[in-house]
Amino acid sequence: MSRLWDGLCWSCRGWLENRLENRGTARCPRCCRVGPVDGDGLCRPCVIAVREEIRAGIEAVFPGPTHLHV
């Protein structure tokens, strides 16, 4: 189990912090959606999709190294 920070995993925490800092101006490199992103630059739906791909053993489509923890 990953460690939690105020009830959020590290990826969600990064997403929340960037959301507060960027106020919806960042572009997700995976789906090109403009909005809040996590520490890896991914929007929340892509964070969920990448985690599911990693869990399923599928090579995740991700533009560069990731900080995601499964």
Q: Give pLDDT, residue 63.
A: 57
The angle subtended at Cα 9 by Cα 38 and Cα 15, nearest 5°, is 15
Rg (CA), the chain: 12
Is the pLDDT at 69 greater than 60? The verdict is no
pLDDT digits (tens, 9 = 90+) for 19-67: 666 556 778 888 888 888 877 778 889 888 888 888 888 776 665 555 5
